């Protein structure tokens, strides 16, 4: 490995840095404070970003990235595919590889590239099975962004704030000219227990004034239709109809967003839109909150219980979500806007 200024990284160093975060939407957007801090400390550095192809729109257009590199999962399969891909990356002669994912695939990619590897330290490996088998409750040691910054201390880069950035082109705003003075709801989530009940979104929607736009993936369409049938014509179902950039543009135009713990929470923060985020089984301590990013969380004794949510409540009652009633959420939203 080439030595860089006797292993002391100075502001004047012309560094080539590769940041790796392959997925998912929220975790990728959470890297944006890191990118800004790197460029602030080393403005002349070449900063490249490696992301999985299906999630590239979460970070494309970020002004701190010099080159966006896409990993095609289906093209580079297995160890041989990773070695082949890494050989191509090696031609870029990176000085620093910052692995902010720390999964098997990214660890392997990093190990096959010449350069100093700095790795994001995830939770202790032994905690995952203990949480999975319900022997301990899940509790984060720090926010994700603060943990992203910790390996950067070796570059004399330190955490300052959790200010996210989501970029989109102006053309996406123009395509949404039919929407004005509206609220965005995002009732979907990757796992069932991260979803506030659709019946609760319906009751909340009836109470809220103005147009409500529902955003999510194709799989959310039927649940959204249920909400629309309950709430009425003031609801619009855009499940599966927007790409990520269009969703960001829509959120940026909205009065505020109500969402589960999912991608739209981070997109809203990244476009400076007020957002109310609902937590149940997962730990809200993963993130920071302010007057524009507002936590809705009952904080029951059995919660948080999961790393990423589950297919069903391990206790069978789902009280972490059910006790956060539409009346409570409406009251909190009303006094906060």
pLDDT in tens, 273-310: 999 999 999 999 999 999 999 999 999 999 999 888 99
pLDDT in tens, 192-238: 999 999 999 999 999 999 999 999 999 999 999 999 999 999 999 99
Residue 28 covered by a domain: yes
Query: What pairs with residue 118 in β-bridges?
Result: 98
189: which residues sit within 8 A by CB, 6+ positions away?
A: 195, 260, 261, 262, 309
Contact 262, 186 (CB under 8 A): yes
Residue 276 covered by a domain: yes
pLDDT in tens, 72-103: 999 999 999 999 999 999 999 999 999 999 99
Residue 201 covered by a domain: yes
Q: Are residues 123 and 201 in the same domain?
A: no
Task: Identify which of 285, 246, 260, 249 has the alpha carbon closest to the alpha carbon of residue 204.
Answer: 260
Q: Are residues 99 and 52 in the same domain?
A: yes
Residue 172 covered by a domain: no
Q: What is the CATH number of the domain that holds 287?
A: 3.40.50.2000
Residue 173 covered by a domain: no
Residue 160 covered by a domain: no
Residue 2 covered by a domain: no
Strands (E), the chain: 16-20, 46-52, 67-71, 96-99, 116-119, 182-186, 211-214, 235-237, 257-260, 275-279, 293-297
Q: Are residues 107 and 186 in the same domain?
A: no
Q: Are residues 208 and 107 in the same domain?
A: no
Q: Are residues 47 and 191 in the same domain?
A: no
Q: What angle do CA 54, 57, 59 make, to 5 degrees?
A: 115
Domain-ending residue, one of 121, 155, 189: 155
Residue 31 covered by a domain: yes
Q: Are residues 151 and 182 in the same domain?
A: no
Split into its structural domains, the chain has a count of: 2
Q: Are residues 189 and 311 in the same domain?
A: yes
Domain-ending residue, one of 155, 190, 220: 155
pLDDT in tens, 99-155: 999 999 999 999 999 999 999 987 666 666 766 666 666 678 899 999 999 999 999
Q: Are residues 245 and 141 in the same domain?
A: no
Q: Are residues 130 and 202 in the same domain?
A: no
Q: Are residues 278 and 329 in the same domain?
A: yes
Task: Identify which of 102, 97, 124, 129 has the alpha carbon closest to the alpha carbon of residue 112.
Answer: 97
Q: Are residues 225 and 120 in the same domain?
A: no
Domain-ending residue, one of 101, 123, 155: 155
Q: Look up the domain containing 210 and give its range.
A: 178-336
Q: Are residues 150 and 243 in the same domain?
A: no
Contact 108, 88 (CB under 8 A): no
Min mean pLDDT across 45-59, 138-152, 316-330 is at: 138-152
Contact 4, 34 (CB under 8 A): no
Instruction: Tell me what pLDDT residue 12 has.
Output: 41
* pTM assigned to the model: 0.93
């Amino acid at each position: 490995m080439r030595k860089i200024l006797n292993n002391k990284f100075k502001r004047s160093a012309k560094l080539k840095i590769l940041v790796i975060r392959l997925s998912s939407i929220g975790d990728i957007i959470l890297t944006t404070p890191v990118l800004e801090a790197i460029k602030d400390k080393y403005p002349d550095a070449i900063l490249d970003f490696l992301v999985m192809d299906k999630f590239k729109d979460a970070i494309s257009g970020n002004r701190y990235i010099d080159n966006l590199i896409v990993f095609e999962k289906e093209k580079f399969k297995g160890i041989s595919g990773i070695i082949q891909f890494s050989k191509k990356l090696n031609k870029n002669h990176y000085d620093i590889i910052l692995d902010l994912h720390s999964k098997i695939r990214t660890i392997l990619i990093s190990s096959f590239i010449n350069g100093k590897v700095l790795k994001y330290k995830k939770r202790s490996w032994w905690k995952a099975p203990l949480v999975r088998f319900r022997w301990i409750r899940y509790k984060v040691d720090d926010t994700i962004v603060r943990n992203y910054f910790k390996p950067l201390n070796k570059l004399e880069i330190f955490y300052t704030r959790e200010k996210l950035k989501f970029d989109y082109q102006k053309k996406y705003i123009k395509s949404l000219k039919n929407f004005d003075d509206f609220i965005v709801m995002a009732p979907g989530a990757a796992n069932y227990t991260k979803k506030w009940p659709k019946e609760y979104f319906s009751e909340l929607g009836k109470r809220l004034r103005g147009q409500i736009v529902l955003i999510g993936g194709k799989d959310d369409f039927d649940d959204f239709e249920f909400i629309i049938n309950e709430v009425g014509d003031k609801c619009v179902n855009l499940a599966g109809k927007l790409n990520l950039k269009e969703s960001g543009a829509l959120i940026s135009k909205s009065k505020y967003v109500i969402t589960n713990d999912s991608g739209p929470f981070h997109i809203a923060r990244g476009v400076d839109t007020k957002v109310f985020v609902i937590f149940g089984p997962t730990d809200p301590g993963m993130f920071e909150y302010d007057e524009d990013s507002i936590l809705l969380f009952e904080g029951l004794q059995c919660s948080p219980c999961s790393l990423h949510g589950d297919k069903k409540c391990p206790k069978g009652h789902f009280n972490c979500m059910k006790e956060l009633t539409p009346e409570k959420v409406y009251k909190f939203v009303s006094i906060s806007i």
